[in-house]
A and B are shown apart, each in its own frame.
Chain A
Amino acid sequence: MDSSISSSSEPIRLRVLARELVREAWAPVAVAALLVAASTALFVHDRGEPAVTLDDHIVAAQRAHAREHRPADLVVVGDSSALMGVDPVLLGQRLNLRVESYALLAWAGPAAWGAVAAEAGAAGPPKVAVLGVNAAAVGLSDGRYHEKGTEHLIVEGTRDWPRFPWTAGRDRTYELVVDPLMRFPLPGSYGVAYGYPDVLRARLMENHGGLIDPNRLAAGPAAPVRAQPSPAFLGRLPRLWSRLEGLGVERVMVVSTPVPAARCDAQTEHELAGVRAAIAATARPGWVTALDLPVCRPDADFATATHLAAPGRAAFTVALAEALGGVGR
C-alpha cells in the first residue's frame, strides 16, 4: 500500500498522479455511480408529491386545504403575495362572509390557481373571488411556469408529480430515506416560526389558507418596482376565468398586493394600475373589477420585497375589506 509513486527527490508526474487517483477512487466512485443510477431508475417514475423545498410544502398544504372542500362565500386566489398578504380570517370577520384563501405561488400560474380554487369550490361555490398579484408574478415567462411542471399537474387535476431524471434519485432518496429519519424542520425563519412542515400545514388549515411570512424586510435603498404583464401570464388568465366561471363566481376583484415604499414611486402605481386593467381586459366585460387600493406601504409592513409581515398583512386586509364593501352579501 505504501509503495511510493514518487521518489523523495523526484516530483510526481501528472500522469502518474492521475493513474493513482483512478486506481484508488474508481471502485468507490463506480459503486456510488451505480447507486445514483439505481436510485434514478427506481424513482424517475415515482409520482409522489415532492416535499423537499418550502415551496413544495406550501403547494402541498394548499392542495390538501383545497381537498377539504370547505364552503366559502369569497375565495382569494393568486400568488404568494396574496397567500401571505391577505388574512382570510380577518377578511371574513370584516365582511361577515366565509372566506378561504387558495392563493399559491407565482410560478404555479393563473391556470393552476384556478384549478385549485375549482377543486376546493366543489362543495360550496363562492360568489366572489379576489385575485391578488404582485408585479413580479405578472411578468413571468413561459419557462418559469414550466420549470417545475407543477402547473401542468395541478391543471390536469392529477396528484402525480413529475420527476426530472437528473434529480429524481437525489430528491426521492432524500424524501423517502433521509427526511423520515431526520424529520427536518422547515428552512430558515420558517423553521423558527412554524417548526415542521406538518405544523405549517396545520396552521394554513386553521387560518383558512392564509400564511404569515416570518421574515423581516432588510432596510436599504432599492430600485423602484416596475410592472409589465408578460404574454405568458396574460395568456393563462382565460383558464383561470373559465375555472371561476365554472364554479359560479359572480364577480372577480383584482388587487395589486402592496409594494414597500422604498421601492414604490408614482410610476409603480401607474404601471400596476395598468396591470390590473390589462388583467380585467382578458375577461368578459364587467365581470372582473380592478380594485384601486393604495399600492405603496411603509417598509416596516413587509417581510420581503413582495410579502407583507403580520402587521402589514392585517392593515392591508382591513383596507381590502373596506374596498370590497358589501360585495358578496
Chain B
Amino acid sequence: MVFDSYAFLAFFALVLPVFHLLRRWLRLQNAFLLAASCVFYGWWDWRFLFLMFGTAAVDYFAALGMERASTPARRKHLLLLSLASNLTVLFVFKYFDFFVASALAAGDRLGVTLNVPLLHVVLPVGISFYTFQSISYAVDVYRREFRAERDPIAYFTFVCCFPHLVAGPIQRPSHLLTQLKHSRVVTRAHVREAVWLLAWGFFLKECVADALAPFVALAFREGQTSGWWTILGTLAFTVQIYCDFNAYSIIARGAGRLLGLEFIWNFKQPYFSLSLQDFWRRWHISLSTWLRDYLYIALGGNRLGPKRTYVNLLMTMVLGGLWHGAAWNFVAWGVLHGGALAIERFAGERFRGRSRPALVGWATTMAIVFVSWWLFRCQSWAMMVDTFTSLRHLEWTTDHTRLLGAIVSASAPVVGVEVFQWRRGDLLAPLTLARPVYSGLVAVLLFGVYVMFKRFDYGFIYFQF
C-alpha cells in the first residue's frame, strides 16, 4: 500500500480509531498495529511477509541468545548469525543478479565464458529499510546499548510498524521500541503537528514531486540530445527526489504522531547546506546516521589517521550508494560523495582556521549534489553517455523556457516554506503562524492535493530501494 492512494486513506481512517479504542490494552494495541502493518505490507504481495518475519525472527532469537550468552565468543557468533541472515536475504534479493551480471559482462570482455544463472527474483518492497533496522537492533544488543526485547509482539511491531516500513525513516530500537513499550501519549501539539505534516507531505508528493516527474522522464532517456534538457532535467530531479522522499518521511511522521509514536526527522533542509558534511547531517538522516554508527565507526572512523579516515569515508559512501540499488550508477554516486567528503575533510584540515564564504560553500556543495543526482538518475550506461554528450548542444528553445518555468513554479512553495522554517530555526514554524494565516495555508495545500491527487501517479522513488 502506498500513502498517496485511496486504499491507504481508507485503511488509516479505519486503523486510527480502532487503535485508540484499544488504549487500555497495550499489548493488544501493539498486536493490532502489527496486524495492520501486515495488511499494509501484504497489500503489495503477502508472500514477502514470510521473508520479513523470517529475518526478524532470527534477529529476535539471536538477540535473546546474546543477552543470555555466557561468553563473548558466543555473543559474537549470534551476532554473526543475525548479520548473515539479514545480509544473505539482502544479497539474494537485491544484489545477486547485479554481481553475477557484472561478472558475466567482465568475463565476456576478457573472453572467459562463465555459466552462472541469474535469479530474476522480485525485489521485496522496503527490504533495505527493514533489514537495516533489524541489523541496528542486533548490533545494539550485541554492544549492550539496548536490552533484548522479550515481548515478540513489541519487537515485530518495531520492525514492521507500517508508517516507516517500506521507505523509512530507519528507526533505532532505542527510539521506537522504547515507545512501543509505553502507553501512547498524544498531545494537542502532536495533533496539530500531524495535521500540518500530513497536509504538507501530500502537497510535496502530489503537487511538487509528481508534477516534476514527467519532465524528469523526458530529460533522462536514451537518445536525449539537448544539453539544456539534461541540465534542467537534473535540476528538476534534484527537487523531485527531495520532495518525494521528504514527503514520505513527513507523512510517516504525521501518521505516527496520530498513533502516539514519534519518528525521527529524516530531512532538515538539506539544500541549505554549506558543506557536504553538513548536507549529510540533513539528508536522509536515518540512513546517514546508520552508516556512521554501524559502518563508518566500525571501520575505524577517524581514529586511525587521516588516510584511513578518507578510505573509510569512501567505503562508507560507496556502500551507502549500493544500499540504494544494485547498479553501477549508485556506486559512482557513492564514489563521488565519498571522494568529495574526503577532499572536503582534507581541505578543512589543510586550511584550518580559514573560513570559506558561505555562498562559495553552498555553491560548491550544491554543484557536487547536483552532479551526484545526475549519476543517481541515469538508469543505464547509454543514458549516461547520451545525457553527458548532450551537453555539447546547448541551444535554448521554448521547451527549455517551459521546463524552467515548471521547475520555478513547482519549487516556489517549497522554497517559501523552507526559508520561513530556516529563519525561525524550527521545522514546525508554520504552526506558529497566526491561526487564520495557518488555516488558509493548509486549506490551499489541501486544495492543491485535491486538484493534483493521482493526476500523474508516479510511485515513491525510494520504494524501489
Chain A interface (Cβ < 8 Å from any Cβ of B): 1-14, 17-18, 20-21, 23-25, 27-32, 34-36, 39, 170, 173-174, 177-178, 181-188, 191-192, 195-196
Contact = CB atoms under 8 A, between A and B. Distances in A.
A36 B440 CA distance: 14
Interface stretch (B94-102, B157-165, B352-360, B398-406): B398-406
B55 to A, nearest CB: 31
Contact of A14 (B20, B406, B439): B20
A13 B218 contact: no
B195 A24 contact: yes
17 contacts: A5-B188, A9-B183, A12-B20, A14-B21, A17-B20, A21-B191, A21-B195, A23-B188, A23-B191, A24-B188, A28-B446, A35-B443, A35-B447, A170-B450, A181-B409, A187-B214, A192-B217
A28 B405 contact: no
Interface string B221-232: 100000000000
B23 interface: yes
Nearest to B410: A182
B217 A178 contact: no
Interface stretch (B58-66, B67-75, B298-306, B451-459): B451-459
* Minimum-distance CB pairs A-B, first 7: A31-B443, A28-B442, A11-B23, A32-B446, A27-B439, A183-B402, A11-B183
A177 B439 CA distance: 22
B424 to A, nearest CB: 15
A105 to B, nearest CB: 20
Contacts of B217: 188, 191-192
Contact of B443 (A29, A174, A192): A29
Chain B interface bracket (under 10, 10 to 19, 20 to 34, 35 or more): 35 or more
Contacts of A3: 187-188
Interface string B179-210: 00001111111011001000100000000000
A100 to B, nearest CB: 29
B187 A6 contact: yes
A136 to B, nearest CB: 23
A14 B431 CA distance: 24
A240 to B, nearest CB: 34
Contact of A28 (B195, B431, B456): B195
A321 B183 CA distance: 77
B405 A174 contact: no
B17 interface: yes
Contacts of A12: 20, 23, 184-186, 260
Given A28-B199, A36-B450, A185-B218, A2 B189 contact: yes
Greatest chain B CB density within 10 A among A5, A7, A12, A177 is at A12
Given A11-B260, A32-B447, A183 B406 contact: yes
A-side interface mostly:
helix
B149 to A, nearest CB: 20
A173 B451 CA distance: 7
Nearest to A184: B214
- State the main secondary structure of chain B at its contact with A: helix
A32 B443 contact: yes
Interface in B241-278: 258, 260
A13 B20 contact: yes
Contacts of B441: 28
B386 to A, nearest CB: 13
A30 B436 CA distance: 12
A14 B22 CA distance: 9
A177 B451 CA distance: 10
B450 A17 contact: no
Contacts of A186: 214
A9 B191 CA distance: 18
A191 B406 CA distance: 15
Contacts of A196: 399, 402
Contacts of A192: 217-218, 221
Contact of A191 (B21, B191, B214, B452): B214
Q: Which of B191, B444, B450 has the most CB of A within 10 A?
A: B191
Contact of A4 (B24, B187, B399): B187
Contacts of B3: none
Contacts of A183: 402, 405-406
Contact of A8 (B185, B258, B451): B185
Contacts of A9: 183
A129 to B, nearest CB: 37
A217 to B, nearest CB: 19
Interface string B394-435: 000001001001100110000000000000000000010001
Interface string B1-43: 0000000000000001100110110100000000000000000
B23 A25 contact: no
A14 B18 CA distance: 9
B148 interface: no
Nearest to A8: B185
B56 interface: no
B4 to A, nearest CB: 15
B285 interface: no
A13 B191 CA distance: 13
